[in-house]
Amino acid sequence: MFPRINRMSFFVAKVGDGLCTGMRYRYSHHFAQCDWGGSNQKVAFYSYARLFKYIVNCVCNTSPKEFLLSHYHSDHYKGLVKASRLSQSKIQALNWEPEMIYLPGMPIIDKREEFYLTLFTMNMFILGDLTGSIELDLFKLIRKMRTKSPTFKYRFLYQGDTFDLAGEKHIVLWPPRRILNDDLTESITKTIDDFNRLKEENEQLKKIYHQIKNSNVVDDLIKQASQEHEKINELSDLIEKNDGVYIEENYELSQNKDTNISELNKKLINIANHLSLAFYKESDLLFMGDVSPQVIPKIIEILQSSNALIYDSIITPHHGTYWDDSLKNLRANYVLVSNGSKLSAGLHPDWYSVGTVISTHLHGDIKL
């Protein structure tokens, strides 16, 4: 492998089956944080204290300047949920106030409105709180964390976009602005059909569905996420406008045991992984979020055509459990895997042919 010139400082917290990372480049004076999750809220939350210590040891400016969320799965943002539930003085002491929030785009897919309506309804049904839209809920959590100034900037990222992270330019590999005639279409159609069938039999589900539909939250978000050009949004009145969408009752949930509901939820989880954010910085970092095995060859094709197959560090897709043979084209000094007792069993052995595998399950917090 090529010699490591130590251009990056990297921290991957041991959070079990989840992800919480921080990074910076050598000449930059600030850190970026990618995801803030873990196998449970407590573990996820406390990982930030170690990340923070690492940041303070490395630099100067204390709080991460950017926060990137790879996709809308709670094992990637549970720490933020826990933090936002602390008392105001504790939140203040945490000093977690990133100025820029990056989120995965919401691609044009077949039945996009109907799909997001289904997703939000199911989120609300299963999680039982907030608005049902994870994006909106996150904005609310982040706003609560910002004790100095409630406003912040955010941007939805799509394939081909470049964005500043930890003082360097990165390029988005996934999701694209449009995903049409893809395997996704079929699974989305099936999922919506399943959902509609369940909805007809379940009064609570029906009620939540109509509440979200009437609130226009899906249309509003899609409008924000569909800017044709790279656009940085200021926190708008979107949140205030949708404050009334909260649902009072807590549905958490005997229905979780309903096999039809949990089957449907599994399908939605797979689709959300399919829409996960992946990005790279040539020769330094390839970050693959939780992108599904069908997406991996599409990403490798782009990297091949850009001649960007060699990295210092790769964050493996879906905690090292996803694999496609096209990944054999990659080389890295370090293959970084954030995993716990559950997902460590699924670590794909071929990752060892890409580079030196370091996993949080075996090695604890990773500091590079």
Binding site for Zn ion (CB under 5 A): 73, 75, 273, 290
Closer residue to Zn ion, CB minimum distance, 245 or 268: 268
Cis peptide before 104 (omega within 30 of 0): no
Minimum CB distance to Zn ion smaller for 132 or for 320: 320
Could you tell me the smallest distance in angstroms from the CB atom of residue 20 to Zn ion? 11
Q: Of the candidates 208, 184, 181, 186, which has an alpha carbon nearest to the alpha carbon of residue 118?
A: 208
**Cβ-defined contacts of 28-31 (< 8 Å, 24+):** 28/166, 28/167, 28/168, 29/59, 29/60, 29/61, 29/167, 30/59, 30/60, 30/61, 30/64, 30/65, 30/166, 30/167, 31/55, 31/58, 31/59, 31/61, 31/64, 31/65, 31/166
What minimum distance in Å lies between the beta carbon of 58 and Zn ion?
Answer: 26
Of 215 and 273, nearer to Zn ion (C-beta) is 273
State the nearest-atom distance from the C-beta of 18 to Zn ion, in Å: 6
Q: Which is nearer to Zn ion, 247 or 315 (CB)?
A: 315
Dihedral sign for Cα 173, 319, 169, 99, please. Answer: positive
Residue 73 CB, nearest approach to Zn ion (Å) = 4
Q: Which is nearer to Zn ion, 84 or 339 (CB)?
A: 339
Q: What's the min distance (Å) between Cβ of 290 and Zn ion?
A: 3
Cα gap 9→135, rounded to integer Å: 29
Which is closer to Zn ion, CB of 225 or CB of 315? 315
Q: Is the dihedral of CA 194, 195, 199, 201 positive or negative?
A: positive
CA gap 186, 15 in Å, rounded:
34
CB 71 to Zn ion: min, Å: 6
Judged by CB, which is closer to Zn ion: 73, or 348? 73
182/164 Cα distance (integer angstroms): 30
Q: Cβ 273 to Zn ion, closest distance in Å? A: 5
